[in-house]
Amino acid sequence: MNDFGQITDALGKALTSLGHEFTSVWLPIQLGAILLAAGLGALAGKLIRSRATPGEIVMGWPAYLRLLVRLLLDNIGTIIFVLLLTVAQTVMLTMTWPSRSYLLGVAASLATAWVVIALVAGLIRNAFVYRLVAIFAWTIAALSILGLLGPTMVALDSVGLIIGGLRVTPLLAIKTSVLMLVALWLASATSDFLERRLQTTTDLTPSIQVLIGKLIRLMLITFAILIALSTAGIDFTALAFFSGAVGLGLGFGLQKVVSNLVSGIILLADKSIKPGDIISIGDQFGWVTNMGARCTSVDTRDGREILIPNEDFVTQHVVNWSYSNYRMLLKANFGVSYDCDPHHVRAVAIAAAASVPRVLTDPAPNCYFEAFGESSLDFSLRYWIDDPNNGVINVRGPVMLALWDAFKREGINIPYPIRDVRISTAERNAGLPDQFAPASNASKSPLD
């Protein structure tokens, strides 16, 4: 409570001094100077941004330098505001006592801290992390400028709870959260950089690249957490309670998460599925585009992106059409009339399939006479392609059209069922009302 009293006393003194300033003419002068500088800075910043064309100047510069120039333009109004306040404060210092320009110094310091934080935090690509870091850093800077940072830290550290031998205070929670956030961001940025470098390495297969990248990310995140906790002053022996809670959570509610994580590592290690493979699992068929820690992304030809849990690839039947090579065998079943010569039909079907550009000539298409059907001679045309990533339906369709054109040209008929339905007189009259039924011969007139 004494710590909060110190903060209250500091705020009271600041308000008292501010109240004394209200009785002086210098407070309106400082407020007017601040408002005038803010207006001029906003107007000048808008004018500069409307006429500046940094795209031509920074073309070819590194990405971070281009981003820094853009951030400078975004904050140019605040920078001009700081410069004007600095000039105004310098002029007032030469004319009167320093206490009569104190408000100008505070405003200039707060604005300077905002510009510096905006420039540094603006390099963070994540918008949420950027806002969080900017607000937190500026709050710390503002408390330091106003002289309230020390009492605030002491007050936040004066209240705490004992949990599992660890004293948890608001100050410890804030420090740990900030350090954890910074450490995780650095670990994520470093792992992204290393993963991009791994993708440019041609000596490693795609699955090994993904596996190494995931292991590097996992290790960096683990080290980041340990470093953040140790820097915050947390004793790891005091975390036994939390580790037990995590183990209990794994045992009851996180089995699927852990199972998917382990399954993903197994898939990457044994290289049974890798990015770029063509797979079918259940009724899903598509191309593996990304393998994550929890799920694998499969891109279908209809524009959908299906997220399949990694556990399904380990526990279910999966067909990998490009496990060892990208050649794929396609089939086209058809039947022809019994009047056709099966030898001629085979030759025509093989020539029709070979005329399609994407059908391979080695191995060449082949056609098999499979069965004497109920009303047709049944054949199976089989052909190979080596680029299934460009589509499968757009090969089957041209092959079927080539068969149709060839059969029309050679006079080969494709039978279709013909049904002759005959209705007898008794069946036709059955169920009709008596007034609609035809008259019997006994009731006919001799004149009929």
Q: Please give the pLDDT value at position 340.
A: 92
Q: C-alpha angle with apex 179: 178 to 182, nearest 5 degrees?
A: 85
Q: Is 10 exposed, middle or buried (0-12, 13-18, 19+ CB in 10 A)?
A: middle
Per DSSP, the three-state class of 431 is coil
437 found inside a domain:
no
Task: Give phi and psi for 249, each to the nearest 5.
Answer: -65, -40
Q: What is the model's pLDDT at position 448?
A: 43
Does any domain span residue 436?
A: no
Strand intervals (E) in 106-190: 161-163, 166-168
Same domain (yes/no): 336, 312: no
Do 316 and 350 belong together in one domain?
Answer: no
**The pLDDT value given to residue 235:** 64
Q: What is the CATH number of the domain that holds 344?
A: 3.30.70.100
User: Does some domain include residue 177?
Assistant: yes
Nearest to 182 by CA among 236, 119, 239, 137: 137
Write down the pLDDT at residue 381.
Answer: 94
Q: How far is CA 127 from the centre of its chain?
A: 15
Asked whether residue 332 falls in the same domain as residue 316, the answer is no
Looking at 48-143, which runs of residues are DSSP E strands?
A: none
Which residues, 6 or more positions from 136, have their beta carbon under 8 angstroms from its beta carbon?
178
Which of 102, 110, 104, 120 lies closest to 142, judged by CA? 110
User: Residues 271, 205: contact at Cβ < 8 Å?
Assistant: yes
Q: Is residue 383 part of a domain?
A: yes
**Residue 369 is assigned to a structural domain of this protein:** yes
**Judgement on whether residues 102 and 183 belong to the same structural domain of the protein:** no
Amino acid symbol at 283: D
Range of 278's domain?
Answer: 273-320
Is 174 in the same domain as 224? Answer: yes
- Whether residue 48 sits in one domain with residue 122: yes
Query: Quick check: 166 and 234 in contact, CB under 8 A?
Result: yes
383 pairs with which residues across the strands?
A: 330
Please report the pLDDT score of residue 443 as a whole number: 45
The domain that contains 316 carries what CATH number? 2.30.30.60
pLDDT at 273: 82
Residues 40 and 121 in one domain: yes
Is 434 within the bounds of a domain? no
Pairing assessment for the beta strands 318-320 and 305-309 based on DSSP bridges: unpaired
448 residues of the chain, pLDDT tens digit each: 455 555 566 556 655 655 555 556 777 777 888 888 888 888 888 888 787 776 666 666 766 677 777 778 888 888 888 888 888 888 887 877 776 777 788 888 888 888 888 877 776 766 777 777 778 777 887 777 777 777 777 777 777 777 656 677 777 777 788 788 778 878 888 888 888 888 777 777 666 777 787 788 888 888 888 888 777 666 666 555 566 666 666 566 667 777 777 787 777 777 778 887 888 887 777 888 888 777 888 888 777 888 888 888 888 888 887 766 678 888 999 999 999 999 999 999 999 999 999 999 888 999 999 999 888 999 999 999 888 777 788 899 999 999 999 999 999 998 877 777 777 665 555 555 555 555 554 444 444 4
**Number of domains, the chain:** 4
| 388 shares its domain with 283 | no
Residue 448 lies in a domain: no
139 and 233 share one domain = no
Pair (27, 122) in one structural domain? yes
Neighbouring residues of 350: CB distance < 8 A, sequence distance ≥ 6: 364, 365, 366, 367, 381
98 and 188 inside one domain: no
Q: How far apart are CA 179 and CA 184, in angstroms?
A: 8
Residues 51 and 140 both lie in one domain? yes
Q: Within a domain: residue 420?
A: no
The rounded distance, in Å, linking the Cα atoms of 45 and 43 is 5
Residue 6: the pLDDT is 56
What pLDDT does residue 442 have? 46
